[in-house]
């Protein structure tokens, strides 16, 4: 399988990565280089093999459904670009 | 005391305990060495003020007679570990101004054991790379040079700054992380020792996530003993990481000298891969002979799916990365683009400007293999392959206690040599990625020098949570190899 320009534009959109038009063709080449190389996995018969879901045999732990973090809105906002009064700021999304 | 920066972590610990040197003196010596080595670009952020404060507090504790296991010992922290109040960049423009409001569990464990922070070590962007060349803050340069050459070599990656800082005696030890070889590759090419513990041994909480089912924290240090000391302090069960295991952390140092007599050590025949330097093969054979001479039994084993490990990794890791890196949106933290039209544009531009080319490539591959219509062909198949690769190890460990393999296909290469072709760079991790896919522990230590005077490492792979035996075998090999070479300090300003 390989990707074309439209597919690259589509996945860039899905990944929310702006790809300038002149970068589309080089990215097609780069991704196809990698995809051609992983193609060798098709040689292996994986019929009946369970997909790995956990590398270490363990049951995921459950915890009490209680609040463990203190009220720290200041800390949460400390790195927000353009944050104001404990609100994250984004461009207008509703008309 | 002279030559403070030449001490190993264990030697410094003993000297501090015996009050031959204070933590403040040690710290000052390392900060001076760091300053003189800035041309290596091993650190993204130096934290001298924090270091002196911590050292002074340690000296008080030592005077009061309540020193902890790592009291007053200066360390470097890979800039992937969140450090409260100290900028943490992950080597990326998108986090160039990020100051965490919390401390990662592993670094907190080190401070609780008395260690001192010297600074934040350089790395590949989001730990994606094998050479430390993808860092937004510029490549880290190896302290090693080939005989008769002044070409700049890579320190390996992604924990290149950590390995460089240890190798150039800029710290007593460093934290690192390993997703596909990021502890072991840099250790191998810089003549240092590193251990990637079993998945779950150390908490991942507060470490910037790359591929969550593969990422694991571990130390890079001067010796096997130093690794044992650091790992003991770093490992813990953590309620904040549900994959961290609730198993007691053994005293790894206590059993180090027990030797390898009676251990069965497997040599996987599939690791004799094309393109491996003959010098690597020679050192691998030598390593097996050294262990045999000390009473180990060498057995040939087979890991039939080895050749599929790298392509499997390059589906699984980017898939997880594309998901983990979705959080960088230009809204809650990190880089935010200017001059944007709407919300989608804000996301797209902030991410395009903030991520470097390797990270963008991996996000796109990951998004593609997870997208509707391709998930089964790529991601699901890769997860099945992963089961087969893990099963290979389970079978091999029925015949042996651990495996001995090369760590890298060759010594360090020059900066710029492999960066233009992603697949060529990926192949450099051929001996290390299998371990992450199977979640196993693995130790790399220096075993010799090439003809041109560059370090070569060997790798042990152990059973899950059997780090103690791995370190014990590593110690035996360390004794036999007598690796004492150090790089010439060409980087020090005259």
Instruction: Judge: B387–A50 Cβ closer than 8 Å, yes or no.
Output: yes
User: In this complex, which of B200, B360, B378 lies closest to A56 when CB atoms are compared?
Assistant: B200
Average pLDDT over residues B291-314: 97
Q: What is residue A84's DSSP assignment?
A: B
Q: How many CB pairs under 8 A join A and B?
A: 159
User: Nearest-CA residue of chain B relative to A51?
Assistant: B384
Instruction: Judge: A31–B308 Cβ closer than 8 Å, yes or no.
Output: no
Distance to chain B for A83, nearest Cα, Å: 8
Average pLDDT over residues A14-31: 96
Picking from B442, B458, B462, B443, the residue whose alpha carbon sits closest to that of residue B400 is B462
> Which one of A22, A27, A40, A81 makes the best mutation probe of the B interface by having the most chain B beta carbons within 10 Å?
A81
Instruction: Judge: A17–B371 Cβ closer than 8 Å, yes or no.
Output: no
User: In this complex, which of A44, A60, A76 lies closest to B385 when CB atoms are compared?
Assistant: A44
Q: Which residues in B447-469 are b (16+ Cβ under 10 Å) and which e?
A: bbbbeebbbbbbbbbbbbbbbbb
**Strands lying side by side in the sheet with B264-268:** B43-46, B116-121, B74-78, B173-178, B216-221, B193-196, B442-449, B455-462, B402-406, B264-268, B297-301
Distance to chain B for A35, nearest Cα, Å: 8
Residue B221, pLDDT score: 98
Nearest-angstrom CA–CA distance, B101 and B4: 33
Here the ipTM equals: 0.95
Share of chain B above pLDDT 90, in %: 96
> Torsions phi, psi of B186, nearest 5?
-65, -35
Distance to chain A for B333, nearest Cα, Å: 5
Question: Tokens for B284?
Answer: 């691998």
User: In this complex, which of B102, B330, B371 lies closest to A14 when CB atoms are compared?
Assistant: B371
Average pLDDT over residues B374-393: 96
- Where along chain B do its domains lie? 4-263+411-481
Instruction: Judge: A52–B315 Cβ closer than 8 Å, yes or no.
Output: no
Instruction: Judge: A88–B98 Cβ closer than 8 Å, yes or no.
Output: no
Looking at the DSSP bridge assignments, the partners of residue B462 are B402
State pLDDT tens for residues B42-88. 999 999 999 999 999 999 999 999 999 999 999 999 999 999 999 99
Residue B316, pLDDT score: 97
Peptide bond into B158 cis (omega under 30): yes
User: Nearest-CA residue of chain A relative to B315?
Assistant: A38
Return the percent helix, strand and coil in chain B, to nearest 5: 40, 15, 45
Average pLDDT over residues B184-204: 98
Nearest-angstrom CA–CA distance, B97 and B76: 20
User: Nearest-CA residue of chain A relative to B308?
Assistant: A41
User: Nearest-CA residue of chain A relative to B101?
Assistant: A75
Average pLDDT, chain B: 96
Distance to chain B for A18, nearest Cα, Å: 5
Give the DSSP H/E element, type plus range, for residue B442.
strand B442-449
Q: How many CA atoms lie within 13 A of B430 on its CB side?
A: 20
Distance to chain A for B59, nearest Cα, Å: 31
User: In this complex, which of A34, A49, A52 lies closest to B422 when CB atoms are compared?
Assistant: A34
Instruction: Judge: B464–A40 Cβ closer than 8 Å, yes or no.
Output: no
Average pLDDT over residues B154-164: 98
Q: How far lies B403's CA from each of B226, B283, B396, in Å?
A: 22, 15, 9
C-alpha A3: how far from chain center: 19
Nearest-angstrom CA–CA distance, A90 and A92: 6
The CATH number for B4-263+411-481, chosen from 3.90.1300.10, 3.40.50.1980, 3.40.50.11540, 3.30.930.10, is 3.90.1300.10
**B1 confidence band (pLDDT: 50, 70, 90):** low
Q: What is residue B265's three-state secondary structure?
A: strand
Question: Tokens for B417?
Answer: 């040599």
Instruction: Judge: A15–B382 Cβ closer than 8 Å, yes or no.
Output: no
Distance to chain B for A51, nearest Cα, Å: 4
Nearest-angstrom CA–CA distance, B175 and B121: 9
Domains of chain A and CATH, by start: 5-42 (1.10.20)
Give the DSSP H/E element, type plus range, for residue B219.
strand B216-221
**Can you tell me which residue has the tokens 């890196």?**
B325
| Tally of CB atoms within 10 A around A59 | 7
Q: Does A95 have pLDDT greater than 80?
A: no
Nearest-angstrom CA–CA distance, B73 and B13: 7
Give the DSSP H/E element, type plus range, for residue B437.
helix B433-438
User: Nearest-CA residue of chain A relative to B304?
Assistant: A44
CB < 8 Å to B351, chain A: 15-18
State pLDDT tens for residues B85-122. 999 999 999 999 999 999 999 999 999 999 999 999 99
State the distance between the two ends of chain A, measured CA to CA, in whole angstroms. 42
Question: Tokens for B437?
Answer: 């896919």
Instruction: Judge: A55–B346 Cβ closer than 8 Å, yes or no.
Output: no
User: Nearest-CA residue of chain B relative to A49?
Assistant: B384
Cβ atoms of B73 and B4 closer than 8 Å: no
Instruction: Judge: A81–B336 Cβ closer than 8 Å, yes or no.
Output: yes
Interhelix angle B105-112/B224-234, rounded to 10 degrees, is 110
User: In this complex, which of B340, B371, B390 lies closest to A91 when CB atoms are compared?
Assistant: B340
User: In this complex, which of B246, B311, B363 lies closest to A17 when CB atoms are compared?
Assistant: B363
Nearest-angstrom CA–CA distance, B428 and B366: 20
Residue A58, pLDDT score: 77
Instruction: Judge: B344–A16 Cβ closer than 8 Å, yes or no.
Output: yes
CA angle B154, B281, B294 (to 5 degrees): 110
Annotated catalytic residues of B are 78, 158, 182
């Amino acid at each position: 399988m390989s990707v074309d320009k439209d597919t690259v534009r589509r996945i860039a959109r899905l990944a929310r990565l702006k790809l300038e038009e002149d970068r589309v063709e080089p990215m097609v080449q780069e991704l196809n280089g990698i995809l051609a190389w992983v193609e060798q996995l098709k040689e292996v018969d994986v019929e009946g093999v369970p997909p790995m879901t956990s590398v270490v045999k363990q049951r995921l732990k459950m915890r009490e459904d209680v609040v463990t973090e203190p009220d720290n809105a200041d800390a949460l906002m400390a790195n927000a670009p353009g944050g104001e009064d404990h609100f994250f700021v984004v461009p207008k999304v509703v008309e | 005391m002279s030559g403070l920066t030449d001490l190993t972590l264990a030697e410094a610990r003993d000297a501090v305990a015996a009050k031959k040197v204070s933590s403040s003196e040690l710290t000052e010596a390392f900060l001076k060495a760091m300053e003189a080595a800035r041309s290596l670009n091993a650190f993204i952020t130096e934290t001298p003020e924090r270091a002196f404060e911590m050292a002074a507090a340690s000296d008080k504790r030592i005077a009061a007679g309540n020193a902890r296991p790592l009291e007053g010992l200066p360390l470097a922290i890979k800039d992937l570990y969140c450090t409260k109040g100290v900028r943490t960049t992950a080597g990326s423009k998108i986090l160039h101004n990020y100051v965490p409001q919390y401390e990662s569990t592993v670094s907190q464990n080190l401070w609780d054991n008395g260690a001192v922070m010297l600074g934040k070590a350089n790395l590949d962007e989001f730990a994606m790379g094998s050479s430390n060349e993808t860092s937004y803050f510029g490549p880290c340069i190896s302290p090693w040079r080939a005989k008769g050459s002044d070409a700049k070599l890579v320190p390996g990656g992604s924990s290149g700054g950590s390995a460089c800082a240890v190798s150039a005696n800029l710290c007593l030890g460093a934290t690192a992380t390993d997703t596909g070889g990021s502890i072991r590759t840099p250790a191998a090419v810089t003549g240092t020792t590193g251990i990637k513990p079993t998945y779950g041994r150390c908490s991942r909480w507060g470490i910037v996530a790359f591929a969550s089912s593969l990422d694991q924290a571990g130390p890079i240090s001067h010796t096997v003993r130093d690794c044992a000391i650091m790992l003991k302090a770093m490992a813990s069960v953590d309620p904040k990481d549900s994959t961290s295991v609730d198993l007691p952390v053994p005293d790894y140092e206590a059993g180090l000298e027990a030797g390898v007599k009676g251990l069965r050590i497997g040599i996987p025949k599939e690791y004799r891969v094309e393109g491996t330097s003959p010098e690597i093969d020679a050192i691998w054979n030598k390593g097996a002979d050294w262990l045999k001479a000390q009473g180990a039994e060498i057995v040939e084993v087979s890991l039939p799916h080895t050749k599929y490990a790298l392509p499997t990794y390059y589906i699984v890791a980017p898939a997880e990365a594309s998901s983990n890196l979705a959080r960088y949106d230009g809204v809650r933290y990190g880089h935010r683009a200017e001059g944007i039209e709407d919300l989608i544009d804000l996301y797209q531009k902030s991410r395009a400007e903030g991520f470097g080319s390797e990270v963008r490539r991996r996000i796109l591959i990951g998004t593609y293999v997870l997208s509707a219509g391709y998930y089964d062909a790529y991601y699901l198949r890769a997860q099945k392959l992963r089961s087969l690769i893990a099963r290979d190890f389970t079978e091999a460990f029925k015949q042996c206690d651990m495996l001995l393999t090369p760590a890298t296909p060759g010594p360090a290469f020059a900066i710029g040599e492999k960066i233009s072709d992603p697949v060529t760079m990926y192949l450099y991790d051929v001996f290390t990625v299998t371990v992450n896919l199977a979640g196993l522990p693995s130790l790399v230590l220096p075993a010799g020098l090439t003809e041109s005077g560059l370090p070569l490492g060997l790798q042990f792979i152990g059973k899950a949570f059997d780090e103690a035996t791995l370190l014990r075998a590593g110690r035996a090999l360390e004794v036999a190899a007598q690796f004492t070479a150090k790089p010439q300090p060409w980087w020090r300003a005259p």
